[in-house]
């Protein structure tokens, strides 16, 4: 039986449109007015280093307005938005983007899908407005962007690297019936683009991505339909305005933490013989543990093999995948089959959770458990 990742809500899902912006005073109201045609809530985060009156333009015009200062990378600002969003789903947009008109009719259908946790949309990088055209060549198209996702912070992560979008646990879907429209190449002067590229370099970019996204006259173009003019947004009855500035810091990894509560297994075994351990683990971090569906994360229970003095003999070995969702604060029981070491002796098995290609949970403050094993 195919169980849904989430149970079907009794009411219609609400959509929060989240916008992060900087120095966008002349154009931000365009996007706000558009967002209220498909969003139930609009929240806007303004970079505190803006030198125009963007925050003044935003305050009072949206449900929530807040300011932040990031440490050279936008990753923590992207995650900060989830502290303010109250909708069931979040649509994240930049201030130089727009959703095609077709999104309005699709939004409820997309949010009703019980299996999906997030959606990717193609992004059309516009090269002209009259006539309206976009570059139809890789990597400028389809330029997939993960922008619509369930409002569950325990599923969402933004790596602290340039040119990475949100990472969301669960099943994703690539939606082709609507697209993002991207105005950067039309609105950003060569001088402004050079400043942005320099900021990317300082944040760790090698410049190759920026080269690939440059629009040159030789690239093929395709007609695009600009979104029809949207009526001005209705007045917000009770806007929430955060006047202070949130100082943000980078986190190198998601908040993965585990407490290995109990391990049941034979303490004596013949060399190379098959064994099964029952391992009870508690999720003491703020991120859910979910079964891998082909993309991040790859979460496993594992053990390090130590000698009886606690010295490391083998760091990597058997892996026991997460099979179902374990939310923060909940426990999960693993049935872990493995073979005893081939050499006789006294060993310790140090059990821990691991996010492959990221970290062992112990590295982030998790609590492991050591189980003695005598091999005869």
Higher pLDDT, 6 or 41: 41
* Residue 68 φ/ψ, nearest 5 degrees: -145, 160
> Domain range holding 85?
15-247
* Whether 107 and 206 share a structural domain: yes
* Whether 180 and 84 share a structural domain: yes
Residues 105-138: pLDDT tens digits?
999 999 999 999 999 999 999 999 999 999 999 9
According to the model, what pLDDT value does residue 1 have?
A: 31
Mean predicted lDDT score pLDDT of the chain: 93
CB 344 within 8 A of CB 376: yes
Q: What percent of the chain has pLDDT over 90?
A: 84
What total of structural domains would you count in the chain?
A: 2
According to the model, what pLDDT value does residue 8 have?
A: 54
Domain boundary among 216, 247, 278: 247
* Whether 269 and 204 share a structural domain: no
Lowest mean pLDDT among 160-169, 179-188, 235-244, 292-301: 235-244
CB 65 within 8 A of CB 240: yes
Q: Does residue 342 belong to any structural domain of this protein?
A: yes
User: What DSSP assignment string belongs to 156-172?
Assistant: EE--SSTT---EESSEE
Residues 50-95: pLDDT tens digits?
999 999 999 999 999 999 999 988 999 999 999 999 999 999 999 9
According to the model, what pLDDT value does residue 10 have?
A: 59
Residue tagged 């999720």 (tokens)? 283
**Rounded distance, CA 28 to CA 218, Å?**
32
* Whether 290 and 369 share a structural domain: yes
Q: Does residue 252 belong to any structural domain of this protein?
A: no
User: What DSSP assignment string belongs to 13-33?
Assistant: PPEEEEEEESS-TTTHHHHHH
Q: What is the mean pLDDT of residues 12-37?
A: 96
CB 285 within 8 A of CB 364: yes
Q: Does residue 5 belong to any structural domain of this protein?
A: no
Domain boundary among 247, 268, 296: 247
**Rounded distance, CA 143 to CA 86, Å?**
28
Using the predicted structure, report yes or no on whether residue 230 has a pLDDT greater than 90: no
Using the predicted structure, report yes or no on whether residue 3 has a pLDDT greater than 60: no
Question: Is residue 339 helix, strand or coil?
Answer: strand
**Rounded distance, CA 15 to CA 313, Å?**
51
Residue 214: pLDDT band by 50, 70, 90 thresholds? confident
* Whether 197 and 346 share a structural domain: no
According to the model, what pLDDT value does residue 231 have?
A: 84
According to the model, what pLDDT value does residue 209 have?
A: 67
* Whether 28 and 169 share a structural domain: yes
Domain boundary among 247, 266, 283: 247
* Whether 206 and 63 share a structural domain: yes
* Whether 35 and 137 share a structural domain: yes
* Whether 166 and 295 share a structural domain: no
User: What DSSP assignment string belongs to 230-256?
Assistant: PPPPPPPSS-EEEEEEEE----SS---
* CATH value at residue 307: 2.60.40.10
């Amino acid at each position: 039986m195919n169980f849904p990742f989430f149970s079907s809500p009794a009411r219609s899902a609400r959509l929060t449109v989240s916008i992060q912006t900087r120095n966008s005073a002349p154009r931000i109201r365009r996007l706000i007015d558009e967002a209220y045609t498909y969003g139930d809530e609009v929240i806007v985060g303004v970079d505190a280093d803006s030198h125009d009156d963007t925050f003044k333009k935003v305050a009072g015009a949206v449900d929530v307005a807040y300011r932040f200062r990031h440490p050279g990378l936008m990753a923590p600002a992207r995650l900060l938005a989830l502290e303010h969003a109250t909708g069931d789903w979040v649509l994240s947009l930049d201030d130089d983007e727009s959703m095609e008109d077709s999104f309005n009719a699709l939004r409820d259908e997309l949010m009703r899908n019980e299996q999906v946790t997030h959606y990717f949309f193609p992004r059309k990088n516009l090269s002209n407005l009259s006539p309206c055209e976009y570059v139809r060549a890789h990597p400028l198209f389809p330029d997939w962007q993960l922008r619509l996702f369930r409002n569950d912070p325990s599923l969402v992560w933004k790596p602290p690297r340039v040119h990475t979008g949100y990472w969301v646990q669960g099943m994703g879907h690539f939606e082709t019936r609507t697209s993002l429209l991207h105005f950067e190449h039309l609105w950003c002067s060569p001088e402004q683009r050079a400043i942005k590229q320099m900021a990317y370099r300082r944040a760790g970019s090698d410049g190759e991505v920026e080269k690939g996204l440059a629009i040159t006259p030789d690239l093929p173009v395709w007609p695009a339909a600009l979104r029809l003019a949207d009526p001005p947004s209705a007045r917000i009855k009770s806007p929430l305005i955060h006047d202070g500035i949130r100082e943000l810091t980078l986190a190198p990894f998601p908040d993965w933490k585990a407490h290995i509560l109990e391990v049941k297994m034979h303490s004596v075994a013949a060399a190379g013989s098959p064994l099964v351990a029952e391992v009870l683990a508690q999720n003491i971090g703020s991120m859910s543990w979910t079964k891998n569906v082909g993309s991040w994360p790859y979460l496993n229970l594992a053990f390090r093999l130590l000698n009886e003095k606690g010295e490391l003999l083998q760091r990597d070995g058997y892996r026991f995948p997460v099979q179902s969702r374990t939310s923060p604060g909940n426990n999960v029981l693993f049935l872990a089959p493995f073979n005893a070491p081939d050499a006789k002796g006294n060993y310790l098995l140090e059990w821990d959770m691991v996010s492959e290609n990221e970290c062992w949970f112990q590295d982030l403050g998790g609590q492991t458990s050591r189980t003695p094993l005598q091999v005869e």
